[in-house]
Amino acid sequence: MGELSSMTPAETLDVLGRVCPYPLVLTKKALEKLPGGSVLKILCDAPASAEDSIPRFADKQKYKFESVKHEGHWELYIQKS
């Protein structure tokens, strides 16, 4: 287990079945509501979102990011700075 995935998330966002751009849009909205230092867990099964748009967004914002791939979906963790 990684650093972020071992922490208790402040919120879990389920975007399973949603395709781009919805996972990223909903991730941004969820993070806006969370205080700094909080971890958001995202359940995502859209490869473009899980492997590209959400990690790039987190990197651009200088947020800590971690991805855990499971069969058929990803668990993405973002820690808001």
Structural domains for the chain: 11-79 (3.30.110.40)
The model carries a pTM of 0.95
Mean per-residue pLDDT, 64-81: 97
Q: Which pLDDT belongs to residue 73? A: 97
**pLDDT value, residue 29:** 98
Is the per-residue pLDDT at 1 higher than 70? no
Confidence of residue 2 (pLDDT cuts 50, 70, 90): confident
Write the pLDDT tens digit of every residue in 8-52. 999 999 999 999 899 999 999 999 999 999 999 999 999 999 999
* Closest to 55 in 3D by CA, of 76, 34, 32, 35: 76
- The angle subtended at Cα 8 by Cα 6 and Cα 13, nearest 5°, is 110
